Amino acid sequence: MDPELRDLLEETHALAKDNHRMLRAVRRSQWLSFLSTIIIWVVVLALPLYLYKEYLAPTIDKISELSGVSTTTTSGFLGLPTSTDIQKLIDSYTEEQ
């Protein structure tokens, strides 16, 4: 094989290996960026819910107990009132008037 041609082949091989190494580094960086973005969004969305449950909800419950406000619980899906709850509310409103 011609020495000049062999040098070109070795140079091309070295460039291909370097390109492969860089592509793997870019893919790894993309995956780490994707995972860190997911973790950050989970924290951003979950932290307020946790803080509400731990600190704000007990405080609101204590204040409502002190002020004498009665809290009614609903028995429907996802805490939504059922038709009987709505009917009771309508009846209590019409009785007041």
Question: Cβ of 86: how many Cβ atoms within 10 Å?
Answer: 13
How many C-beta neighbours within 10 Å does residue 88 have?
13
Distance CA 86, CA 66 (A): 27
Indicate yes or no: pTM above 0.75. Answer: no
pLDDT tens-place string over residues 33-67: 999 999 999 999 999 999 988 888 888 888 777 76
> Looking at residue 71, what is its pLDDT?
55
Token pair 């709505």 is found at 86
Model pLDDT for residues 61-87, shown as the tens digit of each residue: 887 777 665 555 556 676 777 888 888
For residue 60, the model assigns a pLDDT of: 80
For the chain, the residue count is: 97
Report the distance separating Cα 23 and Cα 29, nearest Å.
10
